[in-house]
Amino acid sequence: MTRLAVLVIAATDSSGGAGLTRDVRVLADFGVDTLCAVTAVTAQSDRRVVDVHHVPPEVVRTQIAAALETRQVGAVKIGMLGNRATVEAVADSLAGLAGGAGSTSSSGGTGLAAPIVLDPVLVSTSGGVLLDAPGRAALLEKLMPLATLVTPNVPEVAALLGEPLAADEPGLIAQCQRLLGFGCRAILLKGGHASGEEAVDWLITAEGSVQRLTSRRVSGSSRGTGCALAAGIAAGLAWGVPLLEACRGGKNYVLEQMLAPPESF
List contacts with ligand PLP (CB under 6 A).
10-11, 13, 17-19, 42, 44, 79-80, 119, 121, 124-126, 130, 223-224, 226-227
Q: Which is nearer to ligand PLP, 13 or 201 (CB)?
A: 13
Q: Calculate the alpha carbon distances from 7 to 57, 126, 128, 166 in Å.
A: 17, 27, 25, 33
Q: Calculate the alpha carbon distances from 166 to 128, 155, 174, 181 in Å.
A: 23, 9, 9, 17
Q: How far is the CB of 40 from ligand PLP (least distance, A)?
A: 7
Rounded CA-CA distance 103/213 in Å is 30
Q: Which is nearer to ligand PLP, 89 or 113 (CB)?
A: 89
Q: Please state whether beta strands 116-118 and 149-150 pair in parallel, antiparallel, or not at all (unpaired).
A: parallel
Q: How far is the CB of 70 from ligand PLP (least distance, A)?
A: 23
150 close to 179: Cβ distance less than 8 angstroms: yes
Q: What's the alpha-carbon Rg for the chain, to the nearest Å? A: 17
Rounded CA-CA distance 21/42 in Å is 12
Q: Which is nearer to ligand PLP, 48 or 212 (CB)?
A: 48
Q: Which is nearer to ligand PLP, 126 or 177 (CB)?
A: 126
Q: How far is the CB of 86 from ligand PLP (least distance, A)?
A: 12
Q: Which is nearer to ligand PLP, 44 or 93 (CB)?
A: 44
Q: Which is nearer to ligand PLP, 55 or 203 (CB)?
A: 55
Q: How far is the CB of 104 from ligand PLP (least distance, A)?
A: 28
Q: How far is the CB of 12 from ligand PLP (least distance, A)?
A: 6
Q: How far is the CB of 127 from ligand PLP (least distance, A)?
A: 9
Instruction: Output phi, psi for 92, to 5 deg.
Output: -60, -45
Please give the helix or strand (H or E) that residue 12 lies within, else none.
Answer: strand 5-13
Rounded CA-CA distance 78/116 in Å is 7
Closest CA to 160 of 151, 147, 168: 151
Closest CA to 82 of 64, 57, 58: 57
Q: Which is nearer to ligand PLP, 68 or 78 (CB)?
A: 78
Rounded CA-CA distance 201/255 in Å is 13
Closest residue to ligand PLP in the complex (CB): 19
Q: How far is the CB of 126 from ligand PLP (least distance, A)?
A: 6
